[in-house]
Structures are given as C-alpha cells and as structure tokens.
Amino acid sequence: MTGIESGIQLRGVSKAFGATHALDTVDLDAAPGELVTLLGPSGCGKTTLLRIVAGLVSATSGTVSIDGGSPESARSRKRIGFVPQSPALLPWRTVEANARLLQDVNASANAASLPDPIALLEQVGLGEFRSAYPHELSGGMQQRVALVRAFALGAPYLVMDEPFAALDEITRADMRHLLAELCEPLNTTVLFVTHSLAESVYLSDRVAVLSARPGRIVGVEDIDLPHPRTPELEDDPAFFAAETRLRHLLHEGAGR
C-alpha cells in the first residue's frame, strides 16, 4: 500500500541494541481504520517495532510517521495508545475506576470524542462488575477492563502487544471476537502483535510476517474476508486457506 497521507508509515526502520540487531529495514503502512497484525517467531523484534511506533523507543535508522508527524508527537497528544501483554490494572481501583484511568490522567485529551467507559463496560459484559476490584475478576475479565481502558482514551491509534497471550484458548477466542466488535464502529487504526494464526486471520485486514532476528518483513497477506467478523467465520474454508498461506510465510521467514 502506498501514498497514504494519514495513518502509520514506516520506511527503512532498523533497530540495534548494541551488537544485537533487532530489526532490519522494515517498511510498513497502516491506513486509517485498518487493523494490521505483526506475526513472527519469538525474538524477531515485533514488540520493539510496536514500541518504536508508540514513541517509547527510537529507531536506529529509518522514519516513522503517524498522520504526518512523529510518534513522540502523537503520544504527547494522546493520539496513540499502547496495550501491553498484562492488563496492569491498579488493584486499589474498582473496575469502573480502572476503565476511567486514562481519561482521569489525560482529562483534556481528545475531549470532544471520548467514549463513555460505562457504556463500554456494558458492551463487554462487565456492567454488573463496575464496583468490583481486579482480584475479584478472572484473567479474561481483567483483560476486558484493559481493553475498555484503552478504547476509553479515544485515541485513533492503538498498538497492542499480544494482549491475549496469557489466556486459555476459549477465552482467547472470545477476546478476539470482542476486540473486533470494539474496533469496527470506532474506526480505530490498530497494530497488533500475536503468535496465533487464527487470531491474526480473524482480526486483520492485513498480516505482516516477520523473519527471525533481525526482523524483516518476508511477506504481507491481505485477509480478504467479510466484515463484520463473526465467530462462524472460523469455520469457513477461506479462513483455513488464509491460515495456510500465513504458515508458509512463517516457515519461509524462519528459513525452513
């Protein structure tokens, strides 16, 4: 994809930590409203790439643009949110207070378009748990609160680092269905890291497959499946065909 005037653009992005080369000349775009997944072996630099896009780490070389500006500018204006692997809920705050956390900390950010955290909690099935505390919730419920907290900031860009990795397979499937439901109406642009083929196919408009370290993109697969995505889609032969193509790209990237 070329010629994007807004959205996320990476050109020739490389990153080294001393003698360790994590990323090698990565080119990638994410158009407004698009969900792009990064898929690759452990240690290939996926998380490093997310942190560069989020303005938390600087690239050694290359450029990163978010709506024509720097990641640091997007982060300072609360235009981009980062969702880590752990829910990282504050144990002394209730579910509702955790869901409101980013709004409370960034009261002036995106003020005209802030979603209602209570409505989001209702949407993800946690309305009756608004007064509960994190230790009273299951892992999947905690991760739902973390999603609501991220979406409640109203940021048009989210980078998500394997947020469902610690969940069991059934809960993980429920979470990807839920994330798709949250993203569709809000037109959020998402960069999403996963090791799951099924997760990448279900969620993505495109999947970028990275090689082993130093990470470089060995292929980008368009996921030409209908929206909105529904659980029944996972039984479609086209779904399995997309998984197969991605598996072959992963093997190519691993040098197999």
Contact of 94 with 130, CB cutoff 8 Å: yes
| DSSP code, position 196 | -
Half-sphere exposure of 92 (CA within 13 A, CB side): 0
**pLDDT the model gives residue 2:** 43
Give yes or no for a contact between 81 and 155, defined as CB atoms under 8 angstroms apart: yes
Residue 134 in tokens: 């994190």
User: What pLDDT score does 110 carry?
Assistant: 52
Mean pLDDT by 10 residues, the chain (256 residues): 69 94 95 94 92 93 93 88 90 95 73 79 93 95 92 90 89 89 86 94 95 93 92 93 93 66
Cα separations in angstroms, 171 against 2, 67, 96, 126, 216: 37, 34, 22, 15, 31
Closest residue by Cα to residue 178 from 148, 208, 157: 148
pLDDT at 108: 60
pLDDT at 3 (0 to 100)? 45
Is residue 154 within 8 A of residue 112, CB to CB? The reply is no
- Helix then strand count (H, E) for the chain reads 9, 9
| Cα–Cα distance for residue pair 12/31, rounded to 1 Å | 18
pLDDT of res. 190: 95
Q: Give residue 181's pLDDT.
A: 86
- What is the total residue count of the chain? 256
Q: Where are the alpha helices (DSSP H) in the chain?
A: 46-53, 71-76, 95-99, 101-105, 117-123, 139-152, 169-186, 197-203, 237-253
